[in-house]
Amino acid sequence: AQAVFRSDLSHLLGLMGSGKESLIFMKKRTRRLTAQWALAAQRLARKLGGAQRDQKQILVHIGFLTEESGDVFSPRVLKGGPLGEMVQWADILAALYVLGHGLRVTVSLKELQSNLGVPPGRGNCPLTVPLPFDLIYTDYHGLQQMRQHMGLSFRKYRCRIRVIDTFGTEPAYNHEEYATLHGYRTNWGYWNLNPKQFMTMFPHTPDNSFMGFVSEELNETEKQLIKAGKASNMAVVYGKEASIWKLQGKEKVLSILSEHMEVHGTVFYESQRPPEVPAFVKNHGLLPQPEFQQLLRKAKLFIGFGFPYEGPAPLEAIANGCVFLQSRFSPPHSSLNHEFFRGKPTSREVFSQHPYAESFIGRPHVWTVDYNNSEEFEAALKAIMRTQVDPYLPYEYTCEGMLERIHAYIQHQDFCAAPGPAPAGAGVPKSPLVLAPNATHLEWARNSSLAPGAWPPAHSLRAWLAAAGRACTDACLDRGLVCEPSFFPFLNSQDAFQKLQVPCDSTEWEMNHLYPAFAQPGQECLLQKEPLLFSCAGASAKYQRLCPCRDFRKGQVALCRDCL
């Protein structure tokens, strides 16, 4: 059936269930954003013309909200606990519903079982039951529960699962055998899914799909009003928990800040107990989301002290006309050196509190400075107080942008299809790879009929041999492009090296997440034996990696120009 855009979200609110504080928070958000979603649906419908959109039957199982996983977040919703995940799930539900798909939502194991058709108490039922859903969106907790309760169906149907995974899962951690052999084992990884089945909160890991969330949008009148009403000396500090004020070495920065600006906070506190923040801070306590937005509308500056990492709030602040000031991390934080990231299935290095704000938005909206350097910090503050900035929201974080992206994923991503014959198979003489006229990189001949169903389309491929020690993620960014792991199979051949005029004295096929690559000593060309290990992330001084890049739409990095 054809999916039809929906603009009335009241039925969705019914599907979301009730009782838990987290669900109440999510439903309030959905209700508040209804008009915005409806408008976005109209715009996207116009943009897509009458394009065929198949209606899917979708199960959304929010594992972290189930009692069976401990549900540690719901009781903390009103106490300063993390809200980013709930923001994101509320928006995912809204987007799927607005796009017109058939939706079921479960937040308990019992509901999950009944929706999967598994009789209660028959958790380890060895039979494969036909799955009544085309797609399942869940998280790591939900994935665990499904593996436990779906019996053999889990293996058969796991290609239909999408895992919402804030910080991302790199291929080396996802592949069970490889992770175990090479020390990439964590509590989360080793699911052997296609890495694109993991969906992140920010577009930081091109090996995964970027899911995102939305921020509230302003119309022109509101933007003008906000600009006129800004208090140039008002700062709001990022963070709902008192602990962010206790991070060491901040005294100096705080005293400079308080000299120049009136400092506001939204730190949760119990009514009987005074808030644990410095006396000069005007603390509002944890605010309901709309009131938090109102506060941001008046403020000039939203300032981060290093925690929480990569949340929604800085985008909301920038959308409401604030400048976001944050500290540079040097050395960068990662699972190797920071408690918060320890055990997460990624080696990604985080160079500031909010890398997306730093590299996708930047000045004048975002300033990333060294907080250990008081002069640099003070100069930034003064400059910020003097500059006028417009409210700004990247397209990919608008409702329309999120609808567009999820629409494209649902229509094009298929991880159940049997892998076709290797398109550029080793040594196929007529591979469509061609050396670009400037002889720096490879392209895919536009008129080639090989790899017809590829998405993104194969002709958006641009492939380089990166410098030794450079990851493909960075090598592509260096060229204003993004790494596209689905193109690795097109490059994984001797033919690719030959066309790039790289002299291979020998060729090996091995399991290694850095392959395909070239090793200078010995002039070895190294090819990937395990498709699940194709990885944009990862680098070693020993290898020059062969990197597949593609273009992207301005403000929608998940999609290439011809991806819609």
Residue closer to ligand UDP by CB (options 313, 559) is 313
Residue with tokens 């062969």: 546
Q: Does 202 bind ligand UDP (CB under 6 A)?
A: no
* CA trace torsion 371, 373, 379, 385 (10° rounding): 20
Q: Does 462 bind ligand UDP (CB under 6 A)?
A: no
Calpha distance 198→143 (Å, rounded): 11
**Cis ω for the linkage preceding 531 (within 30 of 0):** no
Q: Does 139 bind ligand UDP (CB under 6 A)?
A: no
- Among the listed residues 82, 102, 123, 364, the single contact to ligand UDP using CB under 6 A: 82
Q: Are 560 and 408 within 8 A, CB to CB?
A: no
Q: Does 312 bind ligand UDP (CB under 6 A)?
A: yes
The CA-based diameter of the chain, rounded to the nearest angstrom, is 77
Q: Are 60 and 137 within 8 A, CB to CB?
A: yes
Site for ligand UDP in 426-455 (CB under 6 A): none
Q: What is the closest distance, in whole angstroms, from the C-beta atom of residue 284 to ligand UDP in the complex?
A: 7
- Provide the β-strand partners of residue 324: 302, 366
Q: What is the closest distance, in whole angstroms, from the C-beta atom of residue 164 to ligand UDP in the complex?
A: 13
| CA distance readout (Å), 173 to 179, 180, 513 | 5, 9, 10
Q: What is the closest distance, in whole angstroms, from the C-beta atom of residue 361 to ligand UDP in the complex?
A: 15
Q: Does 286 bind ligand UDP (CB under 6 A)?
A: yes
Residue closer to ligand UDP by CB (options 203, 538) is 203
Nearest alpha carbon to residue 163 among 205, 129, 117: 205
Q: Are 41 and 53 within 8 A, CB to CB?
A: no
Counting residues that bind ligand UDP (by CB under 6 A) gives 15
| CA distance readout (Å), 127 to 118, 120, 130, 161, 212 | 10, 14, 10, 19, 36
Site for ligand UDP in 316-335 (CB under 6 A): 316
Q: What is the closest distance, in whole angstroms, from the C-beta atom of residue 343 to ligand UDP in the complex?
A: 18
Residue closer to ligand UDP by CB (options 17, 82) is 82
Residue with tokens 């909200």: 65
Q: Does 26 bind ligand UDP (CB under 6 A)?
A: no
Q: What is the closest distance, in whole angstroms, from the C-beta atom of residue 338 to ligand UDP in the complex?
A: 16
Q: Does 101 bind ligand UDP (CB under 6 A)?
A: no
Q: What is the closest distance, in whole angstroms, from the C-beta atom of residue 265 to ligand UDP in the complex?
A: 9
Residue closer to ligand UDP by CB (options 287, 504) is 287
Nearest alpha carbon to residue 480 among 395, 372, 390, 554: 554
Q: Segment near ligand UDP (CB under 6 A), from 282-290, 394-402, 435-443, 445-453?
A: 282-290
Residue closer to ligand UDP by CB (options 8, 276) is 276
Residue closer to ligand UDP by CB (options 240, 550) is 240
Could you give phi then psi for residue 391, rounded to 5 degrees? Answer: -60, 140
- Among the listed residues 87, 99, 402, 450, the single contact to ligand UDP using CB under 6 A: 87
Calpha distance 519→452 (Å, rounded): 32
Q: What is the closest distance, in whole angstroms, from the C-beta atom of residue 364 to ligand UDP in the complex?
A: 21
DSSP annotation of 205 reads -
Q: What is the closest distance, in whole angstroms, from the C-beta atom of residue 167 to ligand UDP in the complex?
A: 11
Calpha distance 340→243 (Å, rounded): 14
- Among the listed residues 311, 391, 423, 432, the single contact to ligand UDP using CB under 6 A: 311
Q: What is the closest distance, in whole angstroms, from the C-beta atom of residue 482 to ligand UDP in the complex?
A: 24
Q: What is the closest distance, in whole angstroms, from the C-beta atom of residue 283 to ligand UDP in the complex?
A: 10
Q: Does 83 bind ligand UDP (CB under 6 A)?
A: yes
Q: Does 287 bind ligand UDP (CB under 6 A)?
A: yes
- Among the listed residues 150, 234, 313, 476, the single contact to ligand UDP using CB under 6 A: 313
Q: Does 84 bind ligand UDP (CB under 6 A)?
A: yes
Calpha distance 268→288 (Å, rounded): 11
Q: Does 355 bind ligand UDP (CB under 6 A)?
A: no
Q: Segment near ligand UDP (CB under 6 A), from 305-313, 343-351, 483-491, 546-554?
A: 305-313
Q: Does 306 bind ligand UDP (CB under 6 A)?
A: no
Q: Are 56 and 410 within 8 A, CB to CB?
A: yes
Residue with tokens 């889990």: 154
Q: Segment near ligand UDP (CB under 6 A), from 94-102, 113-121, 126-134, 284-292?
A: 284-292
Q: List the end-to-end C-alpha distance of the chain, in Å, as a whole number.
A: 20
For the packed helices 220-229 and 289-298, what is the interaxial angle rounded to 10 degrees?
A: 60
Element of type H or E holding 438: none
Beta strands 433-435; 442-444: pairing state: antiparallel
Q: Does 289 bind ligand UDP (CB under 6 A)?
A: yes
Q: Segment near ligand UDP (CB under 6 A), from 275-283, 308-316, 321-329, 491-499?
A: 308-316
Q: Are 371 and 353 within 8 A, CB to CB?
A: no
- Among the listed residues 308, 456, 485, 516, the single contact to ligand UDP using CB under 6 A: 308
- Cα 355 to the chain's mean position, in Å? 12
Calpha distance 41→6 (Å, rounded): 8
Which residues contact ligand UDP (rule: CB under 6 A)? 82-84, 87, 240, 266, 286-287, 289, 292, 308, 311-313, 316
